[in-house]
Amino acid sequence: MDMIPLVHASLGEQELAAVEEVFASGWPAGQGPRGKALEAELTARYAVGDAVALSNCGAALHLALLALGVRPGDEVIVADYTFPAPAHAVRYLDAVPVFADVRPDTGTVDPRAVSDLVGPRTVGIIAVDTVGLPADYAELRSIADRHGLFVVEDAACSVGATYQGVQAGALAPVACLSFHGRKGATSGEGGALLTADPALGADARLRSSFGIGSIFDQSKVVGLPIPEFTEIGYNYKLSDIAAAILQVQISRIDALLERRQGVAARYAELLADEELLTLPHVPQDRTHAWQSYMVTLHPGVDRAAVAADLRAQGVGCGHGTWASHLQPVYEAKQQCPVSAELFERNLAIPMHAELSADQVERVAEVLRNALKTHVRPHTT
């Protein structure tokens, strides 16, 4: 029986050829010519003031908050239903993540919950494009403008998505991308910070290289330049090897996204009449990047048993994402009941650009049978 993985990266000969070019160049490290070229492409693609290539999206979130001046004790409102990287980034600065509940239909942060949480110590909002679906940025920007707050877009999952005709990654003054192995464009690991303000980009770029700037640039200076450490920085650089892979991947985004969209459309057809689950909802004013395909199971279905059944039959699956406020590391005071319920009931099924039509049909069939087998008695 062939396995159908939950995720699979679309990497091939073009990416290998790009890596070979980097090997021949003699500069595989970060902030070299391929990294600069990638940053230029991202700046143009998203029509932003600057783009900084980084080792991962968590690094981008950390540097964004540093550049925005977040200080210990400040409060930052973060979307609750997500991989908890945004809250981690807030805690890196000894600031306080305040968790906002989410919409039950989309899983994206609820602007009403955000508005209710604004207090005297609130300095900003981190919105999350949940598993590839952009949040409600018009409402969020309005809240931020009223209270003088910053907005950061966590677009880790949403490369290729849109909101009101604008690309995810350009929906807030600062945005953070991920190029992890399960994303629509990937170099295995990687990320980027996009910003409308070149000064914020310059701050992030300097801090990403230990606070001394580009060694590649300094190597081109005649003489013996000795770098000076002007900031406490981090090693958040993206290697030129990864940057070269990403240049190829970005050129393929539209084609790869079209294949994911086809998989999502077929799932919707095959599962449309299944009463024991709810399909993903995409509002008319936005499009989905389909990093993941998550269904919400009926409360009467035993999710753990369904997952075990799928995996036993070679179909990958996962719990979806996290209700961050429930994680022990935070000991959060907020209650986010919608997020908590989605955390209990969502199930991620295989979603990637390499799925065949036969595999999609097999996933749907195995899932339907597992739902019927593991529904509790008297469930309606």
Note if 183 is an active site residue.
Answer: yes
Strand (E) or helix (H) holding 48: none
| Residue of 183, 220, 333, 372 marked active site | 183
Handedness of CA 29, 34, 36, 39 (dihedral sign): negative
User: What's the token pair of residue 218?
Assistant: 């300094």
Strand partners, 162: 167, 287
Cβ atoms of residues 340 and 365 within 8 Å: no
Place of tokens 């980034």: 89
Strand (E) or helix (H) holding 14: helix 13-25
Cα–chain center distance at 6: 17
Residue 367: which of 328, 315, 291 has the closest Cα? 315
- Give 87's Cβ-side CA count (13 Å radius): 22
3-state SS, residue 325? helix
What are the counts of helices (DSSP H) followed by strands (DSSP E) for the chain? 13, 13
DSSP 351: -
What is the rounded distance in angstroms from the CA atom of residue 262 to the CA atom of residue 256?
A: 10
Which are the catalytic amino acids?
183
